[in-house]
Structure 1
């Protein structure tokens, strides 16, 4: 019977959980703000990890990419902190990526809501004409 989770999945979950604790506690750059770690993807050889992040309160893509640049600058420091916590021979090199899926999802949701409202407004007078 095959295993439910691969080692890469378990390592990515551990990295995500630890980074969620370490970034607010150890990274002292106030320009980064509050970080949401959406996902961590680790390669099969455990050499690299992509950390997908969004930022609470950042409205523009420029602010998000600037914050990701600052996190990538602190990636070596965060990797050394991870090495102290994880029981692994080598800790993956971290690469932070700005994740736009949540923002895109909100945009699509608002477009769908607008389309539904327009459709209801267009069909509502037709229903009242048929009743009378």
Structure 2
């Protein structure tokens, strides 16, 4: 039973850390970050002494690298902010990583959109009633 409670606690702390870092990025950063930055997720071990912070960065590869470097340079400052905002026994050591989930989702959506466009170009008459056409073809078989 204790492990389940620990899992919920870790998940809750991860969410709080995520929100606090996002708050710091909005209010605490004096210089603008290159690219559009979102704190995608935070992963922590059960002892809560370290945090892997995954950030989604909309921008070029160079902007993404610069942003990760800048965040890592300012990690101590962000940790201090977390320590003041959240009353935790230990403030976790932060390590920043790029989150490629958004990029992958956009890539898949682009591929699906291209396939749909290609399908419509091959069979323009099927656009309006393509579901009926699909059913009648399968009925013939």
Identify the structure with the greater helix proportion: 2
Distance 1:92 1:5 in 2: 17
Alignment of 1:48 onto 2:50: yes
Aligned to 1:22: 24
Query: Whose radius of gyration is greater, 1 or 2?
Result: 2
Match of 1:96 in 2: 96
Which aligned runs of 4 or more in structure 1 are off by greater than 6 angstroms?
none
8 Å CA contact retained: 1:32, 1:70: no
TM-score by length of 2: 0.78
Q: 2:130: which partner in 1?
A: none
Alignment RMSD: 2.2
Q: Which runs of 5+ in 1 are unaligned?
A: 128-132
Equivalent residue runs for 1:21-100 within 5 Å: 21-32=23-34, 34-56=36-58, 58=59, 60-100=60-100
Q: Deviation string for 1:8-47 (max 9, x for gaps)?
A: 1111111011111112211222244542111111111111
Residues 118 and 95 of structure 1: CA distance in aligned 2, closer, same or farther (over 3 Å): same
The size of the alignment, in residue pairs, is: 125
